[in-house]
Amino acid sequence: MKLLIRYKWMILLYVLLSTYSICKIMNEARHYTNLYRGTAFYAVSSAAFIYFAGLFLIVLYITARYTISGCRELCFGIYGAANLSYMWLFSVLNLVYGIVLSFAYIHMLKDNIRVDKVYAGCIIECILIHYVLPGFVAVLMGFLIGYIKNLKISAFIAFIALFFTSTFFKSLVENKLVDSRIKIILENLNLFQDHDNRFNFMILDNIQPYKWGKIIGIICLFFVPLVIFFQRRFRKMTVTILLAGFVIGEVVYLRPVSRIQEQHLVLNYDLYYHLNPVTDSLDEKSPFVIQEYDLDLKFTDIINAVCEVTLEDDAAGEYTFTLYHNLKLKSVLVDGKKADYRRYTDFVTVNRPKGAKITFVYYGNVDYCMVDDKYVYVPEEMPIYPVAGKRMISDGALNGMMNDYRSHMKVKLNRSGVYSNLTKTGKNIYEGDVFGLYLLKADVREVECDDYTLLVPEHLCDDCVGDDDKNREYAQMLVTKLKERGCLDESPSIVCLCSSYTPLKTSGHVGDGYIEINSLAIKRDVENTVDMLLKQYEAHMDYDELEE
């Protein structure tokens, strides 16, 4: 009680700050449709920064006041850790803030979304990593900077700390094209890890384990001075453990494959092609035909692949393939023997003897795809395998990386329960003739349907998506309209009524054997939805004409 009375004005300021932060989060969240509601905390990092900055300045002020009043040696030197009660107080308040925000957010969602234990756990996890843990960092930073004797230096360091954690700095890093290595370092200063949940409610719990390493590592680092100042016994051992925790956490976070996962658009797409401009002329049509793919895919937090391709042409010579630059080649084999190859950006050139099969061994991730320990989302328009010729995604040619003919694909996975536009022929084995591969394992459920596999979100329940009869009605309406407009010759194998936001198509996608669209869009205006899908479809290459 004495502690509450002693810091009553700072506590009141904190309550006002946290209340404003919660209201701002709730207000911004209400503006999102059901597509982005739930765990879309990446969209409210400004609220996270406001909370972080306020908590940081409160602890900084209290600590600096002790220093200015000449009580530094007495308060901290003699009494030591016993006089750090205000840090514990604001750490507890920070935890209470996280609990209140979690309940408020879940309460706001419950009228529109079925918030079960899984969904609630994801919300709490997001709040913990985006708000509560950075709040602990704010408390530690506030004390350490306020502990500095020189007030001017303390104020300058505080300004720098706020600048590097601000949303303004984040926007500077994202919008200014700088060297990729510098960009990685600068991005790592962003405490608010706001690239999560990019794939909305289809892929709900997608906070990667390496992100915990980042924030926990930073907390370990800030604990080191506290241990040096106030711990008497086992000081060296504790400092060593904390420094090891920091190094391990940051190394895990900065792994290239992990950064690939986080920087979907900024680092690996715009910046990459800015730093590595493609000067070669691209192939408008595939220069040769890949008759068959034999793919062995192992999904962990990255893609590990062995891909054997059989070409229709037996002629010897150099063949150039497109394999997205984030997929790192381990080796290329020709008839089982290691072969020399040349690689530049997305292009791989292999010298192939007559009739030989070529095998690519590689790992990594592809932008716009989602692969981790729980989920798999691989759309056809972003191949995770080599395609024929020099192709590249560019403005106005979203399917530039796809083959313009069907190939026979045999795919072996290390995951069960994956939906695909291929036919399942064995345990985790799929085969079929397609233009591109589609794989999906997400928070979806099947709705009983005779003509195709109908998928709807597991967690989103409103008057449209939550009613299975309406889902069947909307799906059949869409398929019928697309057939009438000449977009479909036969029913697709999969209709996924989960999202109008696909990786490259903001208005849904008609793929080879599957459709992705939001049933809300069909409900509102089926004709307009069909028109949008047709525009996307017409932007594809005319596959049937090319095959003929």
The rounded radius of gyration (Å) of the Cα atoms in the chain is 27
Distance CA 304, CA 296 (A): 8
Asked if the model's pLDDT at residue 479 lies above 50, the reply is yes
Residue with tokens 């701002």: 24
Considering only 45-49, 172-176, 193-197, 253-257, which range has the smallest mean pLDDT?
Answer: 193-197
Instruction: Give residue 291's pLDDT.
Output: 94
Residue-wise pLDDT tens digits, 215-271? 888 899 999 988 887 777 788 899 999 999 999 988 887 765 555 555 444 444 556
Instruction: Give residue 173's pLDDT.
Output: 65
Asked if the model's pLDDT at residue 186 lies above 90, the reply is no
Instruction: Give residue 397's pLDDT.
Output: 41
Query: 353 is written with which tokens?
Result: 């003897």
Residue-wise pLDDT tens digits, 88-101? 888 999 999 989 98
CA distances from 137 to 20, 53, 445 (A): 20, 11, 40
Contacts with 44 (C-beta within 8 Å, 6 or more apart), sequence order: 24, 25, 28, 29
Of residues 185 and 82, more confidently modeled: 185
Considering only 7-16, 299-308, 357-366, 534-543, which range has the smallest mean pLDDT?
Answer: 534-543
Band of the pLDDT at 41, cuts 50, 70, 90? very low
Asked if the model's pLDDT at residue 72 lies above 80, the reply is no
Residue with tokens 């309460």: 107
Alpha helix (H) ranges present in 147-200? 151-165, 167-175, 180-187
Assign domain 282-442 to its CATH architecture. Answer: Sandwich (2.60)
Spatial CA neighbour of 371 closest among 327, 318, 402, 404: 327
Instruction: Give residue 347's pLDDT.
Output: 92
Query: 467 is written with which tokens?
Result: 């009613």
Q: For the chain, which residues make up each domain, given as ranges?
A: 2-272, 282-442, 443-548
Residue-wise pLDDT tens digits, 122-170? 778 888 888 888 899 999 999 889 888 788 898 999 998 888 788 777 7
Strand partners, 422: none
Task: Please tell me the pTM assigned to this model.
Answer: 0.76
Band of the pLDDT at 57, cuts 50, 70, 90? very high
Instruction: Give residue 364's pLDDT.
Output: 84
Asked if 183 and 259 count as a contact pair (C-beta separation under 8 A), the reply is no
Alpha helix (H) ranges present in 2-80? 2-6, 8-30, 45-68, 72
Most confident of 271-285, 314-328, 396-410: 314-328
Task: Tell me how far the alpha carbon of residue 259 is from its chain's centroid.
Answer: 10
The angle formed by the CA atoms of residues 505, 203 and 521, to the nearest 5 degrees, is: 45
